[in-house]
Amino acid sequence: MMYGQILHPHSPDGCFINVNVGGFKQRMEHNVLKQFPQTRLGRLLCCSSKEAVLELCDDFSPSEMEYYFDRNPRFFGYVLNFYLTGKIHLVDGLCIVSFFQEIEYWGIKESHLDFCCSNKFHELMGLAGEKCWDQSSDDLQLHSSDSSTEELSASEEDIEMFEGSWCADSRRNIWIQLENPGYSTSAKVMAVTSLSVVLVSIVAMCVHSMPDFHQVDLNEKEIENPVLTFFESLCVLFFSAEFILRLAVAPSARKFLCSPLNIIDLMSIMPFYVTLACDKLDEVENTDLENVGKVVQILRLMRVFRILKLARHSAGLRSLGATLRHSSSEVGQLVLFLSVGISMFSALICFAETESKESELQTIPIGWWWATISMTTVGYGDTFPVTLAGKLIGALCIICGLLIVALPITNIFNKFSKFYEKQRHIDLRQSNT
């Protein structure tokens, strides 16, 4: 329905302007426009030069005092009705986003919506906002599939980088087989072999920590188990050969070394060689190397990074990494909420338990530990309140912990679900190629 098609034909004092919106012409009086000076047409009356006029309209004819606007002529009928009644109505069949853009262009505020359309407008805008967020999340997943989720496929950009380089065809073929397990049977065999070696390395590392497999020499000095050392060396040699081969055939060495998964591969290899070098230096008596033993222990601990190599073969781990990377704000909010709650409840529990000799919650630092395990619902039971007031505070602490943890976790879980579905789609597409 069109409103206000015909305004007053002319003003008594002849003060009017001619408006042409997409071929729809209308004469509008100054007195009508002056009622809404903040709108686009109202601002035209304050322009003192042609340049200022052209900032508000698409074209202008000084002889005819006609202003041209390349906008929707159907919607302009509703704009005319707004100048007559002071209220704007929703347009049937027009997208709510387009409607918002139109009223924004003409300088009409949301507060000018009539009461019959206001609630519907805000409801539709809310639905549109949710769809836009979902679309932006999908675009983000698509954009970050190569970097964040480490998509294990030879992208077209990588393939094109081989053109003109040395041994382009051979390197391209090896690169595709290493990066895309679904490319051929040999590629699947290589992927399964790599995964098996990673699992063997993790098992060997776990067994190495068991006292039953420790050995000592004649001087009662602890030495490495030869069987475990053999498996350890074999796995590291395989990892080293695989890393060097990937680096040699990579289309871009710089891009390869900046990849998160490849950095993990390097960190899982380097401790072994650095440990060998430290052991050699430790054999030489040197007072400057008295702390070499501690350095070796730290380096051996870094072998735990081999567990992260499973991310190359697991869509779930890659999705988890991408989720944490893109959920920094949610994680920050979670830490902030917990910090505030822990600080508050540690002080309260210390005040409630300070007069009880049986309670261990006599200081705020101990209260921090108790509040942390209570708010995260872990509850080790090593420290607990004994007074009635302390127990009430403890119950309140647990309830608040459940609510605080649940708030940002929902957003993080939603992001993980989307990243995981995207990664599964990528892996399925690779296996079918």
Output 207 or 10, whichever has higher pLDDT.
207
Average confidence (pLDDT) over 203-225: 74
Neighbours of 320 (CB within 10 A): 16
Residue 324 contacts by C-beta under 8 Å, 6 or more apart in sequence? Answer: 331
Alpha-carbon distances of 133 from 129, 150, 238, 409, 415, rounded to whole Å: 6, 23, 44, 18, 12
Instruction: Note the pLDDT of residue 4.
Output: 34
- Per-residue pLDDT for 52 more than 90? no
Starting at the edge strand found earlier in the chain, the sheet holding 66-69 runs 24-29, 16-21, 66-69, 59-61
Alpha helices in 150-286 (DSSP H): 156-161, 168-179, 185-208, 226-249, 253-257, 260-283
Judge if 244 and 198 occupy the same domain.
yes
Residue 47 dihedral angles phi and psi, to the nearest 5° = -75, 135
Residue 7, in any domain of the structure: no
Instruction: Note the pLDDT of residue 86.
Output: 87
- Per-residue pLDDT for 289 more than 60? no
Judge if 133 and 163 occupy the same domain.
no
User: How far, in Å, CA of 46 to CA of 60, rounded?
Assistant: 15
Confidence of residue 327 (pLDDT cuts 50, 70, 90): confident
Nearest by Cα to 283 from 214, 228, 221? 221
Neighbours of 75 (CB within 10 A): 19
Judge if 202 and 263 occupy the same domain.
yes
Report the first-to-last Cα separation within the chain, whole angstroms: 54
Judge if 191 and 87 occupy the same domain.
no
Residue 127 dihedral angles phi and psi, to the nearest 5° = -65, -40
**How many distinct structural domains can be found in the chain?**
3
Pairing of strands 59-61, 24-29: unpaired
Q: Taking the CA atoms of the chain, what radius of gyration do you get in angstroms?
A: 35
DSSP calls for 47-94 = --SHHHHHTTSSEEETTTTEEEE-S-HHHHHHHHHHHHHS-B-PPTTS
Helical (H) or strand (E) element with 20: strand 16-21
Judge if 100 and 220 occupy the same domain.
no
CATH of the domain at 73: 3.30.710.10
CATH of the domain at 425: 1.10.287.70
Cβ pair 315, 427 in contact under 8 A: yes
Q: What tokens does 85 get?
A: 């009644």
Residue 1, in any domain of the structure: no
Give the largest Cα separation in the chain, rounded: 118
Instruction: Note the pLDDT of residue 396.
Output: 92
User: How far, in Å, CA of 147 to CA of 26, rounded?
Assistant: 56
- Convert the pLDDT of each residue in 407-427 to its tens digit: 777 777 777 777 777 767 666
Judge if 286 and 412 occupy the same domain.
no
| Domain finish residue from 106, 139, 172 | 139
Judge if 285 and 376 occupy the same domain.
no
- Per-residue pLDDT for 275 more than 60? yes
Judge if 70 and 117 occupy the same domain.
yes
Instruction: Note the pLDDT of residue 23.
Output: 86
Residue 322, in any domain of the structure: no
Judge if 288 and 221 occupy the same domain.
yes
CATH of the domain at 273: 1.20.120.350
- Per-residue pLDDT for 7 more than 50? no
| Domain finish residue from 313, 336, 356 | 313
DSSP 3-state of 215 = strand
Cβ pair 316, 383 in contact under 8 A: no
Classify residue 25 by its DSSP letter. E
Residue 25 dihedral angles phi and psi, to the nearest 5° = -100, 145
User: How far, in Å, CA of 19 to CA of 39, rounded?
Assistant: 14
- Convert the pLDDT of each residue in 96-154 to its tens digit: 888 888 888 888 888 888 888 888 888 887 777 666 655 555 554 445 444 444 443 44
Residue 286, in any domain of the structure: yes
Residue 186, in any domain of the structure: yes
Residue 149, in any domain of the structure: no
* Least confident interval from 48-62, 181-195, 209-223, 365-379: 209-223
Mean pLDDT of the chain: 76
The parent domain of residue 39 ranges over: 16-139
User: How far, in Å, CA of 153 to CA of 142, rounded?
Assistant: 14
Instruction: Note the pLDDT of residue 392.
Output: 93
Residue 279, in any domain of the structure: yes
Residue 61, in any domain of the structure: yes
- Per-residue pLDDT for 431 more than 60? no
Nearest by Cα to 267 from 239, 245, 295? 239
Judge if 131 and 200 occupy the same domain.
no
Cβ pair 427, 352 in contact under 8 A: no
Pairing of strands 215-216, 24-29: unpaired
| Domain finish residue from 139, 167, 190 | 139
Judge if 163 and 239 occupy the same domain.
yes
Confidence of residue 287 (pLDDT cuts 50, 70, 90): very low
Judge if 132 and 39 occupy the same domain.
yes
- pTM, two decimal places: 0.47
DSSP 3-state of 117 = helix
